[in-house]
Chains A and B, each alone.
Chain A
């Protein structure tokens, strides 16, 4: 880590960490959506092990940030809600991974 003017360590990489993704439950959701095209609420609930309310609240935050997209589809004649990671969300997850890698590299250097 580089020394700053005040003599402290340069904390830029840590500051750059996306706090929205850094929360374990949201990171779990993002990772699961990253490897598939789309999934419904129940599938995510089963895969992440989160409760209905918990998952709902995290999804709202991710949707507000533009990381996930809610899409209405029809399965037969029934409407169905599918969730998918947006390009912005995919890029954010990649950047988060890179930033975290950098933080640990600097920390152990």
Chain B
């Protein structure tokens, strides 16, 4: 019995090592920061911050994380969970586009109806993602995201409504940067790997 628990723990520890680099936190931070700055300034160019977040995560995983902690292929159950996360993200992207389209056509229901649905929906999406990804910090970011949406809706149409997203994004970004620095210190590229040119 205890052997089973230990093997499960070993697998969980291996999986968790891929979240030690803080890149997901930086991505979440830049996502919320981009949304907040865009609302505060009404400048659409700030949405570029979100794409910087995507780029940081993709490039960072390849150039920072993998050379320091190596490459691994997880088992079948992780692959199934990954597919579930992809499905959740795809469904929420489609739902967002439908809502935006309805809004542009003037067919969207009152914000008194859509705002609570949006807040609960966001919390649910992030909650499910955190669960299937085994990534506890994502529950907290989901909560911050949902609270920021609620405050933005409550303060709308004032431009100051974006402040909640800026603060939430700043918190996530700070956590991510601290984790990244710690990760870089903890896992320098091993000298042997440099000598042998990888694996």
Contacts and interface: CB of A to CB of B under 8 A. Distances in A.
Contacts of A32: 10, 14
Label chain B's interface by main secondary structure.
Answer: helix
A86 interface: no
Nearest to A72: B199
Interface residues of A, number: 23
A44 interface: yes
Nearest to B72: A39
A77 B6 CA distance: 37
B59 interface: no
B70 A35 contact: no
Contacts of A97: 3
A15 interface: no
Interface residues of B, number: 24
A43 B72 contact: yes
A42 B74 contact: no
Contacts of B157: none
A31 B75 CA distance: 14
B71 A40 contact: yes
Interface in A20-79: 31-32, 34-47, 52, 75, 78
A43 B69 contact: yes
A34 B7 contact: yes
Given A47-B14, A52-B190, A42 B73 contact: no
A3 B58 CA distance: 64
Given A31-B7, A97-B3, A80 B198 contact: yes
A17 interface: no
A38 B74 CA distance: 7
Contacts of B192: 52
A81 interface: yes
| Shortest 9 CB-CB contacts between residues of A and residues of B | A43-B70, A42-B70, A35-B11, A37-B73, A52-B192, A39-B72, A81-B199, A40-B71, A40-B70
7 contacts: A35-B7, A35-B11, A36-B14, A39-B73, A43-B69, A46-B187, A82-B73
Given A40-B70, A42-B190, 17 more contacts: A31-B10, A32-B10, A35-B7, A35-B11, A39-B70, A39-B73, A40-B71, A41-B199, A43-B14, A43-B69, A45-B70, A46-B69, A46-B70, A78-B198, A80-B198, A80-B199, A82-B71
